[in-house]
Amino acid sequence: MLHSKTKWHSPAADSDTVRELARSLSISPLLSSLLVNRGMETPEAALLFMEGGAEEQHDPFLLQGMAEAVPRIRKALEEQEHILVYGDYDADGVSSTALMIHLLRHLGASFDIYIPHRSNEGYGLHNHALDWALQQGVSLIITVDTGISAYHQVAYANQLRMDVIVTDHHEPPELLPDAYALINPKLPGCPYPFKGLAGVGVAYKLAQALLGSDVPAEWSEIAAIGTVADLMPLLGENRDIVRSGLRSMRSSRFPGIRALLDVSGVALGTVSAVNIAFGMAPRINASGRLDHAGRAVALLTTESDDEAGILAGELDLLNKERQLVVERIVTEATAKLELQITETGVPDIIVLADYDWNVGVVGIVASKLLDRYYRPVVILDIHPETGMCKGSARSIPGLDIYEALHSCSDLMEHFGGHPAAAGMSLHKDKVDAFAAALNQYAAGVLTEDHLVPVSPADAEVLLSELSLTAAAELDRLAPFGMSNPQPRFIVRGVTVKETRTMGQESKHLKLVLQSGSSRIEAVAFGKGSLAGVLPAGTVVDVLAELSVNEWNGSRKPQLMLQDLAVTSMQLFDLRGATDAERQALKLKELLMPAGGSPSHAAAVFRDGRVAPQSELIGMSLWVYDKETGITPAGHPPSGLQLENEQVSLLCLMDVPETPEQLDALLRAFPSPDNIALLHTVRDSRERLQMPTREHFKALYQGLAQIAPAPVPEQEVLRRLSRQSSLSVRMLGMMLDVFEELEFIERNKGTVALRNQPAARSLTASRQYARLGQAAEMERYFLEGSLAELQDWLQNLRLGAS
């Protein structure tokens, strides 16, 4: 049994609505159900969602502050004022700044740009930057993707007689800056009907307000990059922006975009929102994380193919360096957290701080720890000289991290962000109080249900429904992203026909799945380690996305696995493994439920006469016992209640010596999820054999020669073993039969054949039956095929229960 890493949830769409929508639009029931589940229940709404239209676009002057901003910018153009575009260092900020550069170039303006350095300056408007702007002769500042919280900085700019137009999309604070104009769809009272614009989306609306219908179509490419990269909902107007941007990008005239797609390995003609999210955005962000975001701005605004190629290559190298830095910090942060968990358990909100944790990547580190522990995470980098911490937070759906930070705002110098992600700065001396305050807030918000990751699915389908035709239909729902994810499907009871790994170090998994006559390839990135627990013939449930694999002109459907589960007990054949303990730990890591629930145990069984070579961390150790069958080694496992315990994994390091030991094991653990056979394989001469009358006849004759009078039993066994093909162990158990039938007499370590014993049938001996059972058990464990052993154990388990 392989547990899924998340709970799968598939909503049931109203069947009448689905059927009517499918009929009205002549689409498949599958596509119709997806539309209905995403809120498009009428033909008009569904067509607008799939094809777009003027209804998705809104008048830019509906944005509060636009009516004041446009005349002020026109005045600056007429009077040749020097304008400063003040941006941010993430992909949205870079895109916003690049878009404003194109706009101001188009308008013939005199301008400069300023983007703060992430690690040296940090987020937001800074007074020293305003001093620099004054020296450059700036009289008008336009912020993009920043500024809504810059109350004091805007006041300072006003003192310097510089007007500030703030364009932003972050959550407005209670105290708003006294800017010449504030443009943010989230402002209280702003009548703009769509609140989900990215920072670049707001900048794009400013361009529309200034140029009307003359906005160049290719600018939507830059707006699309920032919208997707900043994880804005791909609904409403954002769909129009991204759809238009992708259409233009497929024949882009921007050298920088063409070069960026090239180093990302994306074909220009097939670029999608997913390519922006996982190819372009990380490379743009790498510039601001490890260097200065100005390099990415230069890439998006250059008119030179040569310069674009050089800059794109540099961003690609920075992204590779960023990946290495992230890997190091994740390792360090995980070690620090595991120590904390050992002492106090997993906190509701994880807060970790240390030196030399590059502030440019702490958000990525927070995301990776969230994926592993499914808790909100704050990662802070401590400045070695000032002691100031700058950090990023990532949260789960059950907790609004912006509100959590707001609850302890007095402990921070600055903070801002969204419900799912935020940034902050504070002194290291306040980190403990900060963590305590956040966890106090979380205690009143989070429930146990919030801490169980859920993977939403769109439908539960048959494998045969996931075809090329279905993939083409699903493309009508694109672009995919936040609030409009790639459709995911649950497929149950499919059989693994082939299993192999792919990529460097076999990191990725490839399966061939079959159900009836339908067969499809499935790929799971980062899950190569599961290959060993998914042999051919395994029946699995999968959560997957449908894609199309194109190779050498051939097109076929392919599943991209997001999660999978095996719902029946599995038996793993690792008999004779030289690294049995390492294999046991590996299986435990793979098979235990996500989070290592204490209600699921892993147990190891050994021969009590064999000392363990190392400690099997997190696994209870049991030994076979002649009296009780099995017994815990040392102290009993903490809190173990056998009748209630759900055992995820039983590891048999040694074969039970007797049927009673196996019976005791099966009674104690009647329904394990998985059993791993990790025992050594005895030499054939040392194994038990099914006892026959000929064996006992030969034994009786041997005893008549060797032990007519008392002889040390060990000497008798050695001599008899040399004379036959039977092991000392087998012969000893046969003597138990003779003793029970009163054919021999044992006394103080000696054995002697009784003189003229009464005739008795072997079948009257309990020890004879026990020897047969032991030989059968050993044959299955040492020689039986996996299928034979599984059937035999299943029958025994039914008997034991």
Please calculate the CA angle 667-673-678 and round it to the nearest 5 degrees.
85
Contact 255, 305 (CB under 8 A): yes
Q: How confident is the model at residue 341 (pLDDT cuts 50, 70, 90)?
A: confident
Average pLDDT, the chain: 92
Question: pLDDT tens digit string along 476-516?
Answer: 999 999 999 999 999 999 999 999 999 988 999 999 999 99
- Of 70-79, 123-132, 642-651, 753-762, the one with minimum mean pLDDT is 642-651
Residues 6+ apart with CB under 8 A from 291: 318
Hey, what CATH topology would domain 346-452 get? Diaminopimelate Epimerase; Chain A, domain 1 (3.10.310)
Structure tokens at 628: 């009780």
pLDDT higher than threshold 50 for residue 598: no
In our burial notation (b when 16+ CB lie closer than 10 A, e otherwise), range 431-469 reads: beebbebbbebbeebbeeebbebebebbbebebebbbee
Q: How confident is the model at residue 345 (pLDDT cuts 50, 70, 90)?
A: confident
Give the other-Cβ count within 10 Å of 514's Cβ. 15
Largest CA distance in the chain: 129
How do the domains of the chain map onto residue ranges? Answer: 7-49+456-565, 56-318, 346-452, 570-681, 685-783
Residue for token digits 């730990």? 585
pLDDT given at position 639: 41
Could you give the angle at which helices 127-135 and 151-159 cross, rounded to 10 degrees? Answer: 30
pLDDT given at position 615: 65
**Beta-strand relationship, 181-183 and 110-114:** unpaired
pLDDT given at position 593: 61
pLDDT given at position 637: 45
Q: How many helices (H) and strands (E) does the chain have?
A: 26, 27
CA distance 305 to 310: 9
Please calculate the CA angle 67-71-73 and round it to the nearest 5 degrees.
115
DSSP 223-255: HHHHHHHTT---SHHHHHHHHHHHHHHTT---H
Residue for token digits 């000696």? 750
What residue type is 33 in one-letter code? Answer: S
CA distance 676 to 604: 9
CATH topology identical between 346-452 and 685-783: no
pLDDT given at position 82: 98
pLDDT higher than threshold 90 for residue 442: yes
Structure tokens at 108: 């013939």
Contact 729, 686 (CB under 8 A): yes
Q: How confident is the model at residue 586 (pLDDT cuts 50, 70, 90)?
A: confident
pLDDT given at position 644: 42
pLDDT higher than threshold 60 for residue 337: yes
Q: How confident is the model at residue 301 (pLDDT cuts 50, 70, 90)?
A: very high
What CATH number is given for 56-318 in this structure? 3.90.1640.30
Half-sphere exposure for 513 (CA within 13 Å, toward CB): 29
CA distance 225 to 261: 12
Taking residues 690-716, report their average pLDDT: 93
Taking residues 274-299, report their average pLDDT: 95
CA distance 676 to 671: 14
What residue type is 102 in one-letter code? Answer: H
Taking residues 648-677, report their average pLDDT: 89
CA distance 221 to 202: 14
Helices (H), 79-194: 91-107, 127-135, 151-159
Taking residues 584-591, report their average pLDDT: 86
- Of 42-51, 224-233, 383-392, 600-609, the one with minimum mean pLDDT is 600-609
**Beta-strand relationship, 388-394 and 711-712:** unpaired
CA distance 423 to 360: 11
Per DSSP, what are the bridge partners of residue 547? 558
Sheet holding 388-394, edge to edge: 350-355, 377-382, 388-394, 421-427, 414-417
Per DSSP, what are the bridge partners of residue 140? 83, 163
**Beta-strand relationship, 350-355 and 377-382:** parallel
CA distance 323 to 317: 10
Taking residues 647-654, report their average pLDDT: 88
Structure tokens at 268: 């220009």
CA distance 388 to 382: 6
By 3-state DSSP, what share of the chain in percent is helix, strand and coil, each rounded to 5? 45, 20, 35
Residues 6+ apart with CB under 8 A from 369: 330, 333, 334, 337, 350, 352, 375, 377, 379
The class that CATH gives domain 685-783 is mainly alpha
Contact 293, 93 (CB under 8 A): yes
pLDDT given at position 620: 83
CA distance 141 to 105: 16
Half-sphere exposure for 611 (CA within 13 Å, toward CB): 1
Bigger pLDDT: 775 or 602?
775
pLDDT higher than threshold 80 for residue 600: no
Q: With CA atoms as reference, report the closest residue to 412 among 164, 157, 124, 199.
A: 124
pLDDT higher than threshold 70 for residue 62: yes
Per DSSP, what are the bridge partners of residue 86? 114, 143
pLDDT given at position 610: 63
Taking residues 168-175, report their average pLDDT: 93
pLDDT higher than threshold 50 for residue 405: yes
pLDDT given at position 368: 95
Contact 445, 402 (CB under 8 A): no
pLDDT higher than threshold 50 for residue 164: yes
Give the other-Cβ count within 10 Å of 725's Cβ. 11
CA distance 228 to 281: 8
In our burial notation (b when 16+ CB lie closer than 10 A, e otherwise), range 584-620 reads: bbbbbebbbbbbeeeebbbbbbbebeeeeeeebeebb
CA distance 79 to 394: 45
Taking residues 612-628, report their average pLDDT: 77
Burial of 684 (0-12, 13-18, 19+ CB in 10 A): exposed
Q: Computed over its alpha carbons, how large is the radius of gyration of the chain?
A: 35
Give the other-Cβ count within 10 Å of 524's Cβ. 22
Q: Between the CA of residue 677 and those of 421, 552, 579, what are the distances in Å?
A: 46, 44, 12
pLDDT higher than threshold 70 for residue 524: yes
Please calculate the CA angle 576-581-584 and round it to the nearest 5 degrees.
90
CA distance 644 to 599: 8
pTM for the model stands at 0.81
pLDDT given at position 800: 53
pLDDT given at position 281: 97
H/E segment holding residue 37: helix 29-37
**Beta-strand relationship, 388-394 and 82-86:** unpaired
Bigger pLDDT: 798 or 557?
557
Give the other-Cβ count within 10 Å of 574's Cβ. 18
pLDDT given at position 175: 95
**Does a cis peptide bond (omega within 30 degrees of 0) precede residue 479?**
yes
Taking residues 264-275, report their average pLDDT: 94
Q: With CA atoms as reference, report the closest residue to 417 among 552, 230, 213.
A: 230
pLDDT given at position 392: 94
Q: How confident is the model at residue 611 (pLDDT cuts 50, 70, 90)?
A: low
What CATH number is given for 7-49+456-565 in this structure? 2.40.50.460
Taking residues 531-557, report their average pLDDT: 92
pLDDT higher than threshold 70 for residue 406: yes
- Of 109-123, 321-335, 640-654, the one with minimum mean pLDDT is 640-654
Q: With CA atoms as reference, report the closest residue to 183 among 215, 147, 150.
A: 147
Per DSSP, what are the bridge partners of residue 512? 498, 521
> If DSSP codes are grouped into helix, strand and coil, which group holds residue 628?
coil
pLDDT higher than threshold 90 for residue 417: no
Please calculate the CA angle 787-792-793 and round it to the nearest 5 degrees.
100
Contact 90, 120 (CB under 8 A): no
Length of the chain: 801
Burial of 724 (0-12, 13-18, 19+ CB in 10 A): middle
